A and B are shown apart, each in its own frame.
Chain A
């Protein structure tokens, strides 16, 4: 045999000896991402440049849809509102969260764990339910508003009702400040105290240390919290939908274009604009932060010096308690409301258990839908996120970063944008017609939540010593056997944490569902939203309480069992 023949033979031999199972398994998530992430996003971009309406006309690509941002007052106001709301939410969330993070981390005080548990609020409390309870408290007939106005009107000050841009900012800041609080708490308590001690030795006083050492070191974490607030505020649909009144923001404008006019192409254009703004903010944050990221030699042994002065402790406790009470107010309000028919003015009226009693007959199909969709989607998400995490973390193929970015993309895509993309690609007589089915909800849920499991599993994998897997290979186990017996058992807690979080958040999913549901596939959050809009506050509150209770129990049990913080799943790249 000549040399070429020999080479060819050995190449075939090599191919046969290679372990191909991982490649076959890894093809599945890639195919899924291509079909249900890249394809819808591509169609969305295409539609954004087609004329208004539903048809995609390739011969007539142009900027018509974007021109409305120049010509239409509604578009301009929405864009401006979105900007103002998101930027203000970042500012106020930081103003509330940062001092609280510092207090809990650096002041000697009781109930620290109680304050820290606020961090879980954005997970267990759907923002639209928060908005709903603020309507009860600060709406036209709101109890707190009436009370405050009785105090202030003699002074010539009238507290306006919550409806409008200011109200949206108010609700969003209170919804999202825990992100800043948790991340800055983490940074304040993890910062190396020896750096501050060194500054003190060199003669610096407290304010100077704060300014020149402490704050600069936690800026990356504050930035991470701030961008999280910005992304969430930019994409939030529930709060402006309930509190907006005649003021629109981009997500509500998208909903208006789709549900009012079935004008998917301009909705796609609005979605594109909002994603570009979010992406720009993210880049800006990365740019600002990357220059301030320091490798600090962490010394877990030495402890933080806590402020022990009685005044510092008093201020910290009063402040934190105040924030806690305000943050918990919506939950309490909803629980009270759920036992009454009306709450106009000072006290709720018409005590009743009817609200709960009627739930089974009113919303049994919605409850089934929510449970079914959240469970199924969580399981698929678990498998998918797990596989992609393994590929990017262990195999590191060329373009792993691209895969990483692709999976994380839905993290910055507002839910309603994902909904538009899915409608754009699969509604009507599309190649894969999914409009109005369970499947379109299911898949959109999976796409949106894969980052949660992905992040969680990546965190587990980076902590897992690679030699454990190598050692298994050496012992004679192939890839599948190694994964089954070594890798999987050791990252299981990460998978479960990500999956439970996915399940909990999917139970309350509104912003994607609101555009994709049909009469058959309506979920609990959609129904609550409708009840609130139709003025059935008592029933809406009862259903909300049931939802909150379910989510709370799920998250609480997970925390107890796994004993790990869920905040890692929220972090960006």
Chain B
């Protein structure tokens, strides 16, 4: 009953004849499985919201096709598509009460009154607001979380074939956001409607999505499950966008194909031996080729100054985040372009800001990327 969704070379150019045409989508192609909760993730301006609006038909596309199941909907206006959408601002009608807001799509479809009442109360039960429906206030009197639930109910009540969520949690405070993302996943799994969820928050995307697509500059950079994207990012951008990744400058010691094991030399005479699956460059490596070695904060360790097998650094900032302690460590800039972020489960005894320490790499967890051209890794961090 659920529908798949397919993008086939979707392109969107804003202002194509104008002086500054903007390419928002560059031939995006992928398929979303029926009943899947799919996340579109990327920094602002990456094209994720544009892709969602094109999916809804709110924007026309300048190239390619969009399919709902087998149906080509590319030129069909939004009101003929039978979809539901939750907006970032919720877009609840201030001049209608909660019941009328939720019933809107049913009234448009000229559903008989008794069916409307039944469906509205069923959907309000599903989103957990049966009490609100009894009071039936104006939506302006609701709290943020309640508005969110009403917006979801309104989008679901007429059994749409596709549900689109445009940063639906962005207007909620941090605690509520966590609860609502679990709620949305629960509701989606009950209704089994194919759902696209747009967000710029990688934690949210990983938590909620069955699969996710990371977008940058109108291109899909990587597509996969949360753990695939986290543990095996395909390039340095995805690696640093999904969670924090520390980078080291390195050079391949010998030539190798992508599947072979290879030794990587980094500054200070250290030689790393990452696992064979860790090479993320496109065509393997040539001897002497410059690379970036990526290591997650939890795969770096601090020891006291002068320990064997590590390199020297200076502790700059120590933040105690509860489940772990985060150290910001400055190292020789020839070694790493930016300060390192190191998460330790236990504090290093007697270590304070300004101390000299030794940094160690868990080599089995290191990844090897091609250097990104014309892109400064540190700028794309999401705050």
A interface list, Cβ under 8 A from B = 10, 13-14, 17-19, 465, 467-468, 470-478, 481, 485-486, 489-490
Contacts and interface: CB of A to CB of B under 8 A. Distances in A.
Interface stretch (B88-96, B125-133, B187-195, B261-269): B88-96
Given A474-B83, A475-B158, A481 B91 contact: no
Contacts of A10: 75
A481 B110 CA distance: 12
B91 A470 contact: yes
Nearest to A475: B105
B82 interface: yes
A472 B104 contact: yes
B19 interface: no
Contact of B85 (A468, A471, A485): A471
5 contacts: A17-B76, A476-B82, A476-B105, A476-B158, A481-B108
A369 B65 CA distance: 60
Nearest to A492: B95
Contacts of B85: 470-471, 474
B154 interface: yes
A18 B80 CA distance: 10
Contacts of B75: 10, 13-14, 17
Contacts of A485: 104
B84 interface: yes
B131 to A, nearest CB: 24
Given A467-B87, A472-B104, A474-B81, 4 more contacts: A19-B77, A471-B91, A476-B158, A478-B77
A391 to B, nearest CB: 18
Given A468-B91, A475-B154, A489-B95, A17 B80 contact: yes
A474 B84 contact: yes
B56 interface: yes
What 6 A-B pairs come out closest when comparing CB atoms?
A475-B105, A467-B91, A471-B91, A474-B85, A467-B87, A14-B75
Interface in B104-122: 104-105, 108-109
B87 A470 contact: yes
Which interface residue of A18, A471, A481, A489 has the most chain B CB atoms within 10 A?
A471
B78 A473 contact: yes
B: contact size bracket = 20 to 34
Interface string B147-184: 00000001100100000100000000000000000000
A485 B105 CA distance: 12
Contacts of B79: 19, 473-478
Contacts of A486: 93
A468 B77 contact: no
A475 B111 CA distance: 13
Contacts of A478: 77, 79
B58 interface: yes
Contacts of A477: 79, 104, 108
A472 B93 CA distance: 9
Given A17-B77, A478-B79, A471 B95 contact: no
Interface in B33-88: 56, 58, 75-85, 87-88
B52 to A, nearest CB: 11
Nearest to A470: B58
Contacts of B105: 475-476
Contacts of B95: 489-490
Contacts of A14: 75
A468 B105 CA distance: 13
Interface string B342-373: 00000000000000000000000000000000
B14 to A, nearest CB: 13
B58 A475 contact: no
B87 A471 contact: yes
Nearest to B72: A10
Contacts of B78: 470, 473-474
Nearest to B109: A476
Contacts of A13: 75
Contacts of B58: 470, 473-474
A473 B91 contact: no
Contacts of A470: 56, 58, 78, 85, 87, 91
Nearest to A465: B89
Nearest to A482: B79
Contacts of B154: 471, 475
B89 A467 contact: yes
B74 to A, nearest CB: 9
Contacts of A467: 87-89, 91
B77 A18 contact: yes
Contacts of A475: 79, 84, 104-105, 108, 154-155, 158
A27 B94 CA distance: 30
B87 A490 contact: no
A465 B94 CA distance: 11
